[in-house]
Homo-oligomer: A and B are copies of this chain.
Amino acid sequence: MTHMTDIKIAQAKKLLHIKNIAKKLNVDEDDLEMYGKFKAKLPLFLIDEEKVKKNNLVLVTALTPTPAGEGKTTVSIGLTEALNKIGKQATVVLREPSLGPVFGMKGGAAGGGYSQVVPMEDINLHFTGDFNAVEKANNFLAALIDNNIQSKTNNLNIDPRTILWKRVIDMNDRALREITIGLGGTSNGVPRQDGFNITPASEVMAILCMASDLDNLKERLGNIFIGFTFDNTPVFARDLKAENAMAILLKDAIKPNLVQTLEENPAIIHGGPFANIAQGTNTIIATKMGLTLSNYVVTEAGFGADLGAEKFLNIKSQFANLNPKCVVLVSTIRALRHHGGAKTEEYNTPDLVKVTVGFNNLEKHIENIRKFNIEPVVAINSFVSDSDEEVAFVIEKCASLGVEAVLSEGWAKGGNGTTDLAKAVVNVVENKATQYKPLYNWKSPVTDKIETIAKEIYGAKNVEYSKLAQLNLRRINRLGFNDFAICMAKTQKSFSDDETLIGRPEGFTINVREIEIAAGAEFLIPILGKMMRMPGLPEHPASENMTIDTNGVISGLS
C-alpha cells in the first residue's frame, strides 16, 4: 500500500516518448500529430472496419455507485496493464475528463494510484483542446441564433421563446444556470431567458462521440434542432448555415488522442459526455481506432450499468455495430455496504450483514448484463478497509450465480494486482463470448423503447408521462424523430428516479417529466426527475489546495 498521492505517482514516472507507444500499435511516427512529447492525435484513415470486427471489446461498468465513484477508470487501466502482462495486446480507451469537476470536488479522471494514464496533469487540464473545440462549436451556434433574431435582413423568424439551444462552459458555475441575456437596449440583441450547461452536456459532445467521420459529423451538426419560427416551423442548425463553421472548429477534436499508462501501454482518450445526462462513453471513432490497432480494447461507460452500460449497449454498440464480448462489473465492498444501509460515516467499517443485504444491487446489474447476451465478470476493486469475509462472501455469491468475481488491486499494485481479473476476462472472451444483442431496436415506438429500459433494466413496475412529456411525444412524432435512440437522463444513485432508493428497488414508477430532442446526436432524452446540467463549486473548491512552482510542477491536483 502506498501513501503517495496520484499526482506524485504520476510525476515520478519517466514517460516514454509517444512515438514509442505508437510503435507498439504499429502506427508510423509520421502519422502522429504530436502535442508535446507525450500526447498525439491519431489520423482517422487508420481505422479498419475489418479489424474492428475481429478484435475483442471489453466494457467496464459498475454497480450503482456511491458519490465517490467505484473506480471504473482505475480498474480499466489496471486490467489493460494485466492483459498486456499475460501476453495480450491491449489498449485502454477512455473518456476525457471535464475541467469543472477537476477544480471542484470530484477531481480528475485519469485513474488512480498505480493504475493511471499519463501525463495526468495534461489529461485533466486542457489536454489537446477537444473540450474547448466542442465548447466553441456549441457557443458559435448560440451566437448565430441570437444574431439571427437580432438581424433585420437575414432572419429566419425564430420565436425567441422557443429556443432550446443553450450555451456551455466547462466549469462548475451555478450562477450561469439561469440567466437573462440580450439586455441593455436594441444594439445588444433581443432579451430572453437562457442558461449555460457544462460542456459534457452539450449535444455537440454527444454528436462528436456518435460521428463516424468528418462528413457525418457535419451532417449531424446541421441536424441540430434549435426551436421554432413564429409560424411553428422547426429550425435546425443547417438553416443558419452553421454546420461547416462548427465542423471547422472540430476538425482536430474529431481525431482520437493517444497517451500511455503508467506501465507504458497505449491509452486512447477521446470525448467526454457524462452518463447521467448524456451517453457517457468515449467517441465511436476512438473505440474503432482502439479495435483497429489492438487485439483487446478495454473501455468504460460512466456511472452504474443502468446508465453507462445500458447506453453503451443500446445506443453506441447497436449504432456502430460493435460486439462487446465481456462486461466487467466493478464493485466495491464499500458500495455494497452502502446498498445494505450503511451511512457515509460507516462506509469504511466492515459489516458482512450490510454487504449481504446490499448484494442485491450487484445481482440486478449481473442479471441486466445477461439480458444483452453478454457474460459479466465482477471486479472487486480492493480497499484497505475490506474484510476477508466480506470479499469471500461476494466471490462465493457471484459463483453461485455462475459469475467469476475476482479481487482487483490495480490501485495499489498496477498490472500486478489485476492479473486474476485479466485471466477471468480472457476466459470469458475466449471461451464464453456470444453475439451480443441490444435490448430494443431503435425503430420500435418511442414509448416501447422507454418502457423496455425502465422495466428490464431499472426494474420499474410502470412508466408515467407528465403532461409536458406527452406533448413532447406528440412533437417528436410530428417532427418524425421516432426512430432515435433513447438516452435517459436519470440519477446515478438509484435504479429508480428517486435517489434515496438504494439496493434493488421494486414496484416503483418511472416518471418521465419531459423528453428532449437531440436531433444531431439522434437521441431522445427522457428527463426523469430534476437533472442538473451545471454543477456548482463546493464551499472549499479543490483548487484552493493546488499549487504550481517556478518550474511548472503542479501539486494538489487529484
Is the C-beta of A183 less than 8 angstroms from some C-beta in chain B? yes
Instruction: Tell which of B169, B174, B213, B541 touches A188, judged by Cβ atoms closer than 8 Å.
Output: B174
Least Cβ–Cβ distance between A47 and chain B, in angstroms: 14
Is the C-beta of A37 less than 8 angstroms from some C-beta in chain B? yes
Q: Is A181 a contact partner of B175 (Cβ separation < 8 A)?
A: yes
Number of copies: 2
How far, in whole Å, are A503 and B172 apart by their CA atoms in the complex?
50
Q: Is A214 a contact partner of B147 (Cβ separation < 8 A)?
A: no
Cβ contacts A157-190/B at 8 Å (1 or 0 each): 0000000000001111111111111111001111
How far, in whole Å, are A125 and B137 apart by their CA atoms in the complex?
11
How far, in whole Å, are A146 and B537 apart by their CA atoms in the complex?
9
Cβ contacts A233-247/B at 8 Å (1 or 0 each): 000000001101101
Is the C-beta of A347 less than 8 angstroms from some C-beta in chain B? no
How far, in whole Å, are A244 and B214 apart by their CA atoms in the complex?
38
A-B contact pairs, 29 of them (CB 8 A): A33-B35, A34-B35, A34-B37, A125-B249, A125-B251, A140-B543, A143-B173, A144-B541, A146-B173, A146-B174, A147-B174, A150-B536, A175-B181, A175-B182, A175-B189, A177-B189, A178-B182, A179-B181, A179-B182, A187-B536, A189-B536, A213-B550, A214-B551, A244-B546, A244-B547, A245-B541, A245-B546, A248-B546, A248-B554
Once A133-B126, A550-B214 are accepted as A-B contacts, the answer to whether A179 and B177 lie under 8 Å apart by CB is: no
Once A215-B550, A543-B242 are accepted as A-B contacts, the answer to whether A188 and B177 lie under 8 Å apart by CB is: yes
Q: Is B175 a contact partner of A188 (Cβ separation < 8 A)?
A: yes
Cβ contacts A185-216/B at 8 Å (1 or 0 each): 00111100010000000000000000001110
Is the C-beta of A557 less than 8 angstroms from some C-beta in chain B? yes
Q: Is A171 a contact partner of B183 (Cβ separation < 8 A)?
A: no
Give how many A residues have a beta carbon under 8 Å from the other chain's beta carbons: 77
Which residues of the other chain, B, contact A536 by a CB distance below 8 angstroms?
147, 150, 187, 189
Which residues of the other chain, B, contact A480 by a CB distance below 8 angstroms?
none
Q: Is A543 a contact partner of B139 (Cβ separation < 8 A)?
A: no
How far, in whole Å, are A153 and B539 apart by their CA atoms in the complex?
7
Which residues of the other chain, B, contact A190 by a CB distance below 8 angstroms?
175
Is the C-beta of A544 less than 8 angstroms from some C-beta in chain B? yes
Is the C-beta of A311 less than 8 angstroms from some C-beta in chain B? no
A175-B194, A244-B556 known; 16 new pairs, CB 8 Å cut-off, are A33-B37, A36-B41, A125-B248, A129-B132, A142-B173, A147-B541, A175-B181, A175-B188, A177-B183, A178-B182, A178-B188, A179-B179, A180-B183, A187-B536, A218-B548, A245-B546
Interface residues of A (CB under 8 A from B): 33-37, 41, 99, 103, 121, 125-126, 129, 132-133, 136, 139-140, 142-144, 146-147, 150-154, 169-184, 187-190, 194, 213-215, 218, 241-242, 244-245, 247-249, 251-252, 536-537, 539-541, 543-544, 546-548, 550-552, 554, 556-557
Which residues of the other chain, B, contact A189 by a CB distance below 8 angstroms?
174-175, 177, 536
Once A126-B136, A173-B146 are accepted as A-B contacts, the answer to whether A251 and B35 lie under 8 Å apart by CB is: no
Name the 5 nearest CB pairs between A and B, nearest first: A178-B184, A245-B543, A175-B189, A146-B175, A132-B132
Q: Is B187 a contact partner of A174 (Cβ separation < 8 A)?
A: yes
Which residues of the other chain, B, contact A153 by a CB distance below 8 angstroms?
539
Least Cβ–Cβ distance between A484 and chain B, in angstroms: 25
Q: Is B147 a contact partner of A548 (Cβ separation < 8 A)?
A: no
How far, in whole Å, are A542 and B66 apart by their CA atoms in the complex?
48
Least Cβ–Cβ distance between A364 and chain B, in angstroms: 32
Once A126-B133, A188-B178, A546-B248 are accepted as A-B contacts, the answer to whether A171 and B143 lie under 8 Å apart by CB is: yes
Least Cβ–Cβ distance between A246 and chain B, in angstroms: 9
Which residues of the other chain, B, contact A552 by a CB distance below 8 angstroms?
214, 251
Least Cβ–Cβ distance between A176 and chain B, in angstroms: 6
Which residues of the other chain, B, contact A176 by a CB distance below 8 angstroms?
181
Q: Is A172 a contact partner of B188 (Cβ separation < 8 A)?
A: no
Least Cβ–Cβ distance between A343 and chain B, in angstroms: 22
Least Cβ–Cβ distance between A118 and chain B, in angstroms: 16
Which residues of the other chain, B, contact A121 by a CB distance below 8 angstroms?
248
Which residues of the other chain, B, contact A245 by a CB distance below 8 angstroms?
103, 541, 543, 546
Determine the residue in chain B with the shortest Cβ distance to A153: B539
Least Cβ–Cβ distance between A243 and chain B, in angstroms: 9
Q: Is B169 a contact partner of A543 (Cβ separation < 8 A)?
A: no
Q: Is B140 a contact partner of A171 (Cβ separation < 8 A)?
A: yes
Which residues of the other chain, B, contact A35 by a CB distance below 8 angstroms?
33-36
Which residues of the other chain, B, contact A150 by a CB distance below 8 angstroms?
174-175, 536
Instruction: Tell which of B37, B41, B136 touches A99, judged by Cβ atoms closer than 8 Å.
Output: B136
How far, in whole Å, are A133 and B127 apart by their CA atoms in the complex?
11
Which residues of the other chain, B, contact A143 by a CB distance below 8 angstroms?
171-173, 175, 537
Q: Is B154 a contact partner of A540 (Cβ separation < 8 A)?
A: yes
How far, in whole Å, are A41 and B187 apart by their CA atoms in the complex?
40
How far, in whole Å, are A552 and B539 apart by their CA atoms in the complex?
45
How far, in whole Å, are A21 and B219 apart by their CA atoms in the complex?
38
How far, in whole Å, are A177 and B132 apart by their CA atoms in the complex?
21
How far, in whole Å, are A550 and B244 apart by their CA atoms in the complex?
11
Determine the residue in chain B with the shortest Cβ distance to A139: B171
How far, in whole Å, are A246 and B493 apart by their CA atoms in the complex?
33
Determine the residue in chain B with the shortest Cβ distance to A30: B37
Least Cβ–Cβ distance between A555 and chain B, in angstroms: 9
